[in-house]
Amino acid sequence: MKDVAARAGVGLKTVSRVVNGEPGVTADTERRVQEAIESLGFRRNDSARVLRKGRTASVGLVLEDLADPFYGPLSRAVEEVARAHGALLINGSSAEDPEREQELALALCARRVDGLIVIPAGHDHRYLEPEIKAGIATVFVDRPPGLIDADAVLSDSCGGARAGVAQLIAHGHRRIGFIGDQPRIHTAVERLRGYRAAMEDAELPVHPSWVSLGSTAPERVRGAVEEMLTGPEPVTAVFAGNNRVTVTVVRALAGRERRTALVGFDDIELADLLGITVIAQDAALLGRTAAERLFRRLDGFNDEPAHMTLATRLIARGSGEIPPQ
C-alpha cells in the first residue's frame, strides 16, 4: 500500500480510501491510485486489516465429518448465511474426537473468528467460556453444549424416534430392535429414549437384546442385526439410529428370505427407490437456523442463550409398513 501511495504520488490514507471505496477522493486522484494498484498488482492484506479492525469477517464451523452426507448440506447452509453477511467460513472435522474438537475450536478462536458454530464431539465445553466471554459468539448445533450455557439448535431426536417406532407398532410389530450410534453421542441417547418412550406408550416390553448402541462401522452394525434376528426373542422390525446405521441395516436385511420392517433416522439419497421409511431431519435448516442465530448475536442481539428444537418428519415409503412375518 505504501508502494502504491508512492507510485501514485499520494498519501497512504488516500490509497486506503480508494481501496475501501470511502468518499472524499477526487475522480482524478482515484484514477491515479487505481492505475498504481493495477500496475503493482496490489491486493489489500486482510490480515493487517483484521488486526486493526478487530473483526475478521469469518466464522468457524467445527463438525464431525465433512464427508458425511448429513453435514454437507448443513455446512453449505452455514456458508450461504455467512456469505450473505460478507463472511468466510473456516471449517474442520473433529472426527468425533473431543480433543480434536477442542483443538480446532481454540485454533479458530486464536484466529479471532467472529463467531463459532460447533457440533460437539465432547461433553465439556467449559474450555470455550473465556472465548465466549472475550466476545466470540458461539452457537451449538445438532447436539447441545456440555457444562456451559449457550445457544443450541437441535433436531427433535427423541420425538422423531418415538414417531418412527410408533409407526412400526401401528403396523403390528411388538418385537422391535434399536440399533444406534455410540452412547456418548447425545443424539444416539435421545433417539434411544424416543424408542423406549414409544414402546412404553404401547405397553410393550423391551428385551435387552433388542437394544444395541455402538460404532457405526458396518461389521458392528451387521453383527447387531444378526443377533437381533436370530436371538431368543427375534425382532420383526428394526429402528436404525442414523444414516450410517440405516445403510448397513438395509444391506444386512437385503439378503434375507424373511422380510424385516425398517425405519431409519435421517433421510438418505435413493431411499425413495429402495422404499425405505425414514424420519427426516432438515440438515440445511439446522445449519441455516444456527448461522442466523450467530449473526444476530454478532449484530448485537443479546438475549439469554436458548435451545431451539426443530421438528422431524416421518416419510413412509414401505419398509416401515411391512407387517410382522
Q: Which residues bind DNA (CB under 7 A)?
A: 1-2, 9-14, 16-17, 19-20, 23-26, 28-29, 44-45, 48-49, 51-53
Starting at the edge strand found earlier in the chain, the sheet holding 237-240 runs 211-213, 176-180, 237-240, 261-265, 277-280, 313-315
Q: Using CB under 8 A, which of 225, 268, 294, 322 touches a copy of itself?
A: 268
| Closer residue to DNA, CB minimum distance, 54 or 232 | 54
Closest to 158 measured CA to CA, from 133, 118, 195: 195
Q: Give the count of alpha carbons within 13 A of 218, CB side only.
A: 6
Phi then psi for 152, rounded to 5 degrees?
-150, 140
Q: Is 35 in the site for a copy of itself (CB under 8 A)?
A: no
Q: Is 216 in the site for a copy of itself (CB under 8 A)?
A: no
For residue 257, the Cα-to-chain-centroid distance in whole angstroms is: 37
Q: Is 67 in the site for a copy of itself (CB under 8 A)?
A: yes
* Binding segment (CB under 8 A) for a copy of itself, from list 87-95, 160-168, 170-178, 258-266: 87-95
Closest to 323 measured CA to CA, from 175, 155, 223, 151: 175
Q: Using CB under 8 A, which of 6, 12, 99, 111 touches a copy of itself?
A: 111
Q: Is 47 in the site for a copy of itself (CB under 8 A)?
A: yes
Q: Is 107 in the site for a copy of itself (CB under 8 A)?
A: yes
Among DNA, a copy of itself, none, the one that 258 touches (CB under a kind-dependent 5 to 8 A) is none
Among a copy of itself, DNA, none, the one that 65 touches (CB under a kind-dependent 5 to 8 A) is a copy of itself
Strands 88-93 and 137-141: unpaired
Please tell me the distance from the alpha carbon of residue 114 to that of residue 55, in angstroms, as a whole number.
6
Min dist CB 28 to DNA, Å, is 7
Q: Is 284 in the site for a copy of itself (CB under 8 A)?
A: yes
Three-class SS string for 311-324?
A: CCEEECCCHHHCCC
All three cell numbers of 154, joined, read: 437441535
| Closer residue to a copy of itself, CB minimum distance, 25 or 268 | 268
Q: Are the C-beta atoms of residues 243 and 73 closer than 8 Å to each other?
A: no
Q: Is 269 in the site for a copy of itself (CB under 8 A)?
A: yes
Q: Residue 313: CB partners within 8 Å, gap ≥ 6?
A: 279, 280, 281, 282
All three cell numbers of 252, joined, read: 444386512
Q: Using CB under 8 A, which of 1, 7, 29, 92 touches a copy of itself?
A: 92
Please tell me the distance from the alpha carbon of residue 324 to that of residue 322, in angstroms, as a whole number.
7
| Closer residue to a copy of itself, CB minimum distance, 126 or 307 | 126
Q: Using CB under 8 A, which of 271, 286, 290, 322 touches a copy of itself?
A: 271
Which residues lie near a copy of itself (CB under 8 A)?
A: 41, 43-48, 50-51, 56, 58, 65-69, 71-73, 75-76, 79, 83, 88-93, 106-112, 130-131, 133-134, 247, 250-251, 254, 268-274, 284
